[in-house]
Amino acid sequence: MDFLQSRQGSLVHKTNKMKKKRKHSREEEAIRVPIEDVLDLHTFQAKEVPGLLEEYIDACLKEDIFSVRIIHGKGQGVLKKRVCEVLKKNRLVGSFSEAPGNAGGWGATIVVLKKEGQGQEWERFFKTVEEGADLMGLPIGRGQVEQFALHAKEILEWNQFANLTAITELEELAEKQFLDVVPLAGLIPTGYRVLDIGSGGGFPGIPLKVLRPDLDMVLIDGARKKANFLKHMIRTLGMKGIKAYHRRVEEVKDEEGGSFKGYDIIISKAVARLDKLVGVCEPLLGCGGRIVAMKGKLTSEEELCAKRAIEAGGFSIERSEYQLPSSGVERSIVVLRR
């Protein structure tokens, strides 16, 4: 590999593919794949890691190398932490885990890269979000799309046991879950206290927080696995000013202390009909608070059924409609204000 020569042989030591039969042990079973190459980073500084690692991964894929060991040393864990941060964000990484001690795991991480076709899928994810946002007249930054991609990657991994979304195709996920949140970001004033009910896989709350880090955000979901995922995503993205709880919205209004009350805005995406939303959200709103419901095309029947609850709560109704740029699917954002 040219990359090896460009680093004067100090970075990587090519290894032969493992042909000998391994003795079975719990630690060795965790590897699951033969190691094809090794990158030794333990003599480098943490600030050098991102560039070196990105370059190395690209070089591996060009050489059809998909399973590697990254040596970062034990030390105080600073280098290991930096390596893991870079791997989490790289859309070409399929999975990674700590190397077992008896398999060359002296301060090392085993990385499995995505094979041909998977990298292109992530490129299409980026293109769908970036070009779609531009077409909607709401361009967003590359760094924000990278956070969306990390969120999407974690959703697909957790979806196997947490049932986070029925959408598992990346381009569809990019448009119908991430791009769909972009219009919402411009509707909320600076610094508002926001509650996302029935957040599930983090929609719309987590992408909204990515786009609007100034918001004070709380996410709740009645399913424990989904609430655990929300907490995991907050840690993974290193977010501040956002918390997640395992709660049902019908229950929090009765909790003592008022910790779930006084919100400026309560948001939801395809959680319930408008009349039910008004009933469960009204007790949690502060003075002048709003309910924002993200829906498909709002039917006149649903609006009529909710009319009595809306008027009883002293709300006025506003709605904006838009189409998702690739699929043409119609969406509505319904705002109830008082």
Q: What is the DSSP string of 19-53?
A: -SPPPP-HHHHTT-S---EEEE-TTS-GGGHHHHH
Which residues make beta-bridge pairs with 56? none
Q: Which of 113, 137, 152 is the last residue of a domain?
A: 113
What token pair was written down for 21?
């039969």
Among 72, 87, 113, identify where a domain stops: 113
Residue 274: which domain range? Answer: 175-337
Under 8 Å between Cβ of 202 and 210: no
The reply to whether the predicted model has a pTM over 0.85 is no
- Position 128 in a domain: no
- Of 95, 113, 131, which residue sits at a domain end? 113
CATH code, 100: 3.30.1370.110
pLDDT tens over the chain, length 338 residues: 444 334 434 333 333 333 333 333 323 333 334 557 888 887 888 888 888 998 898 888 888 788 788 888 876 678 888 899 999 888 788 878 777 654 445 688 888 787 766 667 778 898 999 999 999 999 998 889 988 988 998 898 899 889 999 998 999 999 999 999 999 999 999 999 999 999 999 999 999 999 999 999 999 999 999 999 999 999 988 899 999 999 998 888 766 556 688 999 999 998 888 888 998 999 999 999 999 999 988 888 888 888 888 988 899 999 899 999 999 999 999 999 98
